[in-house]
Amino acid sequence: MKFFGLIFLLLGLIPSAVAKWDPQALDATVKNAIDTFYTPGMSVSVVHQNQLIYAKGFGLANIAKQLPVNENTYFRLASTSKAFTAAAIGVLVDQEKLNWKDLVIDHLPHFRMQDDYATQHFTIEDLLTHKSGLVGGAGDSMIWPEPSGFSREEVVKNLRYLTPRYQFRQRYAYSNVLYITAGEIVEKISGKSFEDFVDQHVFKPLGMQCYAGDMPKTALSKSALSYGHRDSEGIYPIPRNAIQGEALMSAAAGGMVCSAAEMSKWVSALLHDAKMDDELKNLGETSELIESSQQLPFSNKQLNKMWQSYTILGVSDTDTEWDSTYFRNYGLGWRLSNYEGYKHISHTGTLSGYQAFVALIPELELGVVVLNNGSNYGARSAVMQTVLKMFIDTEQKDWVAEYVAYQDEREQAYLSRGDTTPKALAKGTLSNKQVVGTYSDQWFGDFIITEQATNKKKNVLRITSSRMANLRGTLSAFQDTSYKIEWDNKNAASDAFMHFELDVERKVIGAKLHPFSTKTSNSHEWRDMHFLKVE
């Protein structure tokens, strides 16, 4: 990609075809967004007509050390990593080592879904389309809060314990564990670790200094720390999600690391191949000529496969009002929609302390990358909207103000539903002695409850997960045989109920967990766990 030799000469130049492009206005929007949405730092890159016209950083990568963000600052990509997982599969398909329609069980014999039909018919393509029949986020409790105590092989083996809510291929429900399963396919077929394959066969051919695996110290030193925000304490660090330079179990679903400048190489290659594909098709060239034009490490045939629509997504009134969007779909690692009359290809990434947004409009030869180290989606969304609207003949709004109003409206709607905090209506009926012990679930592992002395007269109950290091907290009687778990790390997990089960002799024999809320829900992180007390 020859244009990268001219990167810094081109920064800030105004493309003649785009009268609204205003780098100074974008600077102001980014600064306003990170201040308004409590985001320490942000990096943005814009590719247009095969030129990198904008690559800048704003704010701080590390507040304590006062380290600034620039275009080369590394952030966690979160779920924008999924496109690279799909790309790795595409490379293997081009190498004729597998097919999108291959059955997963033929490559991973230990793969099992609870639904036998799904097990026997689940294809590699199905792993990436989010219509497995499971609820959204099923199995995420094996991944987060990191560090995870589960291996990828265990994630695949434990899929059989996740209860489906829908029919196989019936509807959309977001899944991270199935992308991890796709990563296991890559490892099995290639004979390399998933991280090494992505680094060598996706990032390296594109000249991208990005990482699915371990990072060199030089890159690690340029990494942004992750942050959250609470009104009571302001902006605070989230060290458990910080980039440590080591590969994560979650790499295929959301654990890769890159900078805005390096990600611009990715969007440039995608746009280049999409343009060449369209031009050569218009000329009636053969598929061999189309594929020979590629800069991507996989063929245009695979790119078109990834950018096809497989799963219908919902469209909100806001989508239609703001962007004239009337359809949204999921491809393979990408979301697809119409946006002001153009095809819009994108994905967001959300992890406590990191936010990512990648969007492309091929017809305009436009690609945008937004990365930050905060936890409020308003910052990335306001900046993305501002950039895209600059290249489209439509009214430009103050998108920071729009998202402030939108979030206020959402908060008021939530509050109007009433307080969902449970209130105890009866006294607790169990003693600490009855509750203390080890509780084991067949796939999630153990919770250990112990009684510990404090400086106060009354001892406290402590609960610890054997598999997830950040799941530690205090257990207190709520009512009847229900207890409340208050986790030490409020950012790692929300408070939960632990409902204890008794036999006829009032002996505690097991327990189930549920979110600490009056709302009844069957779609939560604890739904497929049943802890039996170990004697």
**Integer Cα distance of 200 and 206 in angstroms:** 10
| Confidence tier at 517 by pLDDT (50, 70, 90) | very high
Q: Are residues 387 and 520 in the same domain?
A: no
Report pLDDT for 208.
Answer: 97
Q: Is residue 286 part of a domain?
A: yes
Report yes or no on 525 lying in a domain: yes
* pLDDT at residue 520, rounded to an integer: 79
Q: In which band, very low, low, confident or very high, does the pLDDT at 253 lie, cut at 50, 70 and 90?
A: very high
Task: Sort strands 366-372 and 227-230 into parallel, antiparallel or unpaired.
Answer: unpaired
Question: CATH number of the domain that 394 lies in?
Answer: 3.40.710.10
The answer to whether 103 touches 289, Cβ cutoff 8 Å, is no
Residue 373, pLDDT above cutoff 70 = yes
Mean pLDDT on 172-181: 98
In tens, the pLDDT along 32-72 reads 999 999 999 999 999 999 999 999 999 999 999 999 999 99
Note whether 266 and 363 are same-domain residues.
yes
∠ CA 373-407-418, rounded to 5°: 120
State yes or no: pLDDT of 13 exceeds 70.
no
Q: Which amino acid is at 200?
A: Q
pLDDT given at position 282: 56
**What is the percent of the chain with per-residue pLDDT over 90, rounded to a whole number?**
87
Residues 391 and 315 in one domain: yes
- Does residue 109 form part of some domain? no
Residue 285 clears pLDDT 80, i.e. is over it: no
pLDDT in tens, 182-224: 999 999 999 999 999 999 999 999 999 999 999 999 999 999 9
Determine the pLDDT at residue 386.
Answer: 98
Which residue has better confidence, 498 or 15?
A: 498
User: If you average pLDDT over residues 137-155, what whole number do you get?
Assistant: 96
Choose one of 388, 414, 440: the last residue of a domain.
414
Examine the domain organization and report whether 351 and 483 are in the same domain: no
Tally the domains of the chain. 2
Q: Is 316 domain-assigned? A: yes
Residues 441, 528, single domain; the answer is yes
- The pLDDT score that the predictor gives to residue 497 is 97
User: If you average pLDDT over every residue of the chain, what do you get?
Assistant: 93
Q: Say if CB 195 and CB 212 are below 8 A apart.
A: yes
Regarding predicted confidence, which is higher, 455 or 116?
116
> Does residue 54 form part of some domain?
yes
For residue 145, cis peptide bond before it (omega within 30 degrees of 0):
yes
Residues 405 and 456 in one domain: no
Q: What is the Cα 21 distance to its own chain's centre?
A: 30
Among residues 385, 414, 443, the one where a domain terminates is: 414
* pLDDT exceeds 80 at position 284: no
530 shares a domain with 445: yes
CATH number at residue 443: 2.40.128.50
Q: What is the pLDDT of residue 4?
A: 42
pLDDT at 275 over 70: yes
Same domain, 406 and 368: yes
Q: Indicate if the pLDDT at residue 15 is higher than 70.
A: no
Its domain, for residue 64, covers 2-74+260-414
Same structural domain, 440 and 521: yes
26 within some domain:
yes
Candidates 497, 433, 439; CA nearest to 464 is 439
Is residue 80 one of the residues assigned to a domain?
no
Q: Are 87 and 297 in contact (CB under 8 A)?
A: yes
Q: Is the pLDDT of residue 279 over 70?
A: no
Burial of 406 by CB count in 10 Å (0-12 exposed, 13-18 middle, 19+ buried)? Answer: middle
Same domain, 317 and 410: yes
Percent of the chain with pLDDT over 70: 93
Question: What residues form DSSP beta bridges with 441?
Answer: 445
For 379-409, write each residue's pLDDT tens digit.
Answer: 999 999 999 999 998 889 999 999 999 999 9
Same domain, 313 and 439: no
- Residue 309: CB atoms within 10 A of its CB come to 16
For residue 311, tell me if it sits in a domain: yes
Do the Cβ atoms of 223 and 61 come closer than 8 Å? yes
Residues 264 and 399 in one domain: yes
**Mean pLDDT value across residues 65-85:** 98
Burial of 503 (0-12, 13-18, 19+ CB in 10 A): exposed
Kindly report the number of other CB atoms within 10 A of residue 417's CB atom: 8
Residue where a domain terminates, one of 414, 444, 478? 414
Q: Which two tokens stand for residue 423?
A: 């209130």
- Residue 133 near residue 169, CB atoms below 8 Å: yes
| Band of pLDDT at residue 276, cut at 50, 70 and 90 | low
Q: For 148-171, what is the mean pLDDT?
A: 97
What is the residue type of 164?
A: P
Cis bond leading into 205, ω under 30°? Answer: no
Angle, in degrees to the nearest 10, between helices 82-94 and 177-190: 30
**Residue 535 pLDDT grade (very low, low, confident, very high; cuts 50, 70, 90):** confident
